[in-house]
């Protein structure tokens, strides 16, 4: 397809003629994001100063660890899920042969709920635990600030999730690799082992050792003994003497409240990653997603990347937030106009037109290789997962192999990368992707490489070529 650029006074416009796209752009009067700048720090203080900070939380863990039951029960105790709904699911679960009152159907129902802790509003992003769901778990985790890792404390249950093939390890590696630096570990189903302190200690010891190798410091992780089924130690301190006798730490809700809210980069250029697209009223479109950096207000003109089209923001909506403004870290729906719906895709970015996100077909990256069986060589192909983006990537060059802990080069141009190694590589994409260098935009510079449903490596973009 041809793109013809004509220099012309006025805003950037675009129209199509057969297969030729004309773009009229003025380089002397560049398209402005907004006509007047406001004191954004003052505005933020005015709008959000007295509002509880929002923490985006993802719940991860091995299949059947009890994630839905746990979060469903917590929401019920907080008065968010009605008893009638709980009863309905209990009946349905019984019919399905599950003891739990939460079936997979509830996992969907529970997704995207908000609830309050004493100092925060928690936006809950649920993530199914089954192996097939890892890509959606990556999407969930990529949008979260912090994570709860749910482990099954029942006899053999923890081991099933923790040994090779279980998702406990993989999920912990993924959350860390995606930049979630603090973790609350719900040691769930402890009722099934009579609240055994030995069992709790055994699980904590195994996890502590493993989580350290992944990059979590001991002080970044809190372990909470609990039961999603009985509701013990979720919102209220334990009542069961078998647990009360040896545990006086935080409840799950307190542990969530203690998780830190990352600093919101509201003064940086706009980076809004689209994770949902649907039709709005009239000719407008709605795009859902997370504003990674900057702030957006009604009337802003944003550039859609990688396409380069210009959209105007007509409305901003989010649960429990004031309309008309969105700040870094918010999950919002934008109502936009002036854009051809056929060019909008999940994974695209809306940006400041004067400082759009770079797009590229080639990057240099530092990767950590997981427990693979087939070594990575020049020419290896992978699914590249990043934010809501998914594309094909080929290894163009193995630049150097690094020492895992010191990061020093131990070999230049290695012929292959084996399991648990660390390296600098060059990747080439099938189609242009919008990315940032990790050191400039932490959230936009991390990715995963997957092959045949298995996560092969996690990486950080070090250079955009």
Enumerate binding residues for ligand GTP (CB under 6 A).
61, 63-69, 98-100, 102, 104, 107, 128-130, 188-189, 191-192, 227-229
Closest separation in Å from C-beta 356 to ligand GTP: 38
Structure tokens, 145: 């600030």
**Chain centroid, CA 209 distance in Å:** 25
Closest separation in Å from C-beta 193 to ligand GTP: 9
Pairwise CA distance, residues 259 & 57, whole Å = 10
Closest separation in Å from C-beta 95 to ligand GTP: 12
Contact 256, 122 (CB under 8 A): yes
Contact 66, 152 (CB under 8 A): yes
Closest separation in Å from C-beta 296 to ligand GTP: 34
Residue placing its CB nearer to ligand GTP in the complex, 153 or 339: 153
Contact 446, 292 (CB under 8 A): no
Closest separation in Å from C-beta 337 to ligand GTP: 39
Pairwise CA distance, residues 71 & 110, whole Å = 8
Closest separation in Å from C-beta 116 to ligand GTP: 23
Residue for token pair 């349905």? 92
Pairwise CA distance, residues 324 & 146, whole Å = 27
> How close are the terminal C-alpha atoms of the chain, in Å?
23
Residue placing its CB nearer to ligand GTP in the complex, 69 or 360: 69
Pairwise CA distance, residues 143 & 274, whole Å = 11
17, burial (CB in 10 Å: exposed 0-12, middle 13-18, buried 19+): exposed
Residue placing its CB nearer to ligand GTP in the complex, 249 or 260: 249
Closest separation in Å from C-beta 73 to ligand GTP: 8
Pairwise CA distance, residues 325 & 427, whole Å = 37
Residue placing its CB nearer to ligand GTP in the complex, 99 or 164: 99
Residue placing its CB nearer to ligand GTP in the complex, 131 or 394: 131
Q: Give backbone dihedrals phi and psi of 4, rounded to 5 degrees, phi first.
A: -105, 125
Residue placing its CB nearer to ligand GTP in the complex, 187 or 304: 187
Closest separation in Å from C-beta 181 to ligand GTP: 24
Residue placing its CB nearer to ligand GTP in the complex, 46 or 236: 236
Residue placing its CB nearer to ligand GTP in the complex, 63 or 235: 63
Closest separation in Å from C-beta 178 to ligand GTP: 19
Q: Rounded to 10 degrees, what is the CA torsion of 296, 298, 304, 310?
A: -140
Longest dimension (CA), the chain: 77
Contact 228, 291 (CB under 8 A): no
Pairwise CA distance, residues 182 & 176, whole Å = 8
Closest separation in Å from C-beta 446 to ligand GTP: 24
Helix axes 83-95, 67-77, angle to 10 degrees: 160
Residue placing its CB nearer to ligand GTP in the complex, 67 or 331: 67
Pairwise CA distance, residues 158 & 154, whole Å = 7
Residue placing its CB nearer to ligand GTP in the complex, 55 or 127: 127
Q: Is 393 helix (H, G, I), strand (E, B) or coil?
A: strand
């Amino acid at each position: 397809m041809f793109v013809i650029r004509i220099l012309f006074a006025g805003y950037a416009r675009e129209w199509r003629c057969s297969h030729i796209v004309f773009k009229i752009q003025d380089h002397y009067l560049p398209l402005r994001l907004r006509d007047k700048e406001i004191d954004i720090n003052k505005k933020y203080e005015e709008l959000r100063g007295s509002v509880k900070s929002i923490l985006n939380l993802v719940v991860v863990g091995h299949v059947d660890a009890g994630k839905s039951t746990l979060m469903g029960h917590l929401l019920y105790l907080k008065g968010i899920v009605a008893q009638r709904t709980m009863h309905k699911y209990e009946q349905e679960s019984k019919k399905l042969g599950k003891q739990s009152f939460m079936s997979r159907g509830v996992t969907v129902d529970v997704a995207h709920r908000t609830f309050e802790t004493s100092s925060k509003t928690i936006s809950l992003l649920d993530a199914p635990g089954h192996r097939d769901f890892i890509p959606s778990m990556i999407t969930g985790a990529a949008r979260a600030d912090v994570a709860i890792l749910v482990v099954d404390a029942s006899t053999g249950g923890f081991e099933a999730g923790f040994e090779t093939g279980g998702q406990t390890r993989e999920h912990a590696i993924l959350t860390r690799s995606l930049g979630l630096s603090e973790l609350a570990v719900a040691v769930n189903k402890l009722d099934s082992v009579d609240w055994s302190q030995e069992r709790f200690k055994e699980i904590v010891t195994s996890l502590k050792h493993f989580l350290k190798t992944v990059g979590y410091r001991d002080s970044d992780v809190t372990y909470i003994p609990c039961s999603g089924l009985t509701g013990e130690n979720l919102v209220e301190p334990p009542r069961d003497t078998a647990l009360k006798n040896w545990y006086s730490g935080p409840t799950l809700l307190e542990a969530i409240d203690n998780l830190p809210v990352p600093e919101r980069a509201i003064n940086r250029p706009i980076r809004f990653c689209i994770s949902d697209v649907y039709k709005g009223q009239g000719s407008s479109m709605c795009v859902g997603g997370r504003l990674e950096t900057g702030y957006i207000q009604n009337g802003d003109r944003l550039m859609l990347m990688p396409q380069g089209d210009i959209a105007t923001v007509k409305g901003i909506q989010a649960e429990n937030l004031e309309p008309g403004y969105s700040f870094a870290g918010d999950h919002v729906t934008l109502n936009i106009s002036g854009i051809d719906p056929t060019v909008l895709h999940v994974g695209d970015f809306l940006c400041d037109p004067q400082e759009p996100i770079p797009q590229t077909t080639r990057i240099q990256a530092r990767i950590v290789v997981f427990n693979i069986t087939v070594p990575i060589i020049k020419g290896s192909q992978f699914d590249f997962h990043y934010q809501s983006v998914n594309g094909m990537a080929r290894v163009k060059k193995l630049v150097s192999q690094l020492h895992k802990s010191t990061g020093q080069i131990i070999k230049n141009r290695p012929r292959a990368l084996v399991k648990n190694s660390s390296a600098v590589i060059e990747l080439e994409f099938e189609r242009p992707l919008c990315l940032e260098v990790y050191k400039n935009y932490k959230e936009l510079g991390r990715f995963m490489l997957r092959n045949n449903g298995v996560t092969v490596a996690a990486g950080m973009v070090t250079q955009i070529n």
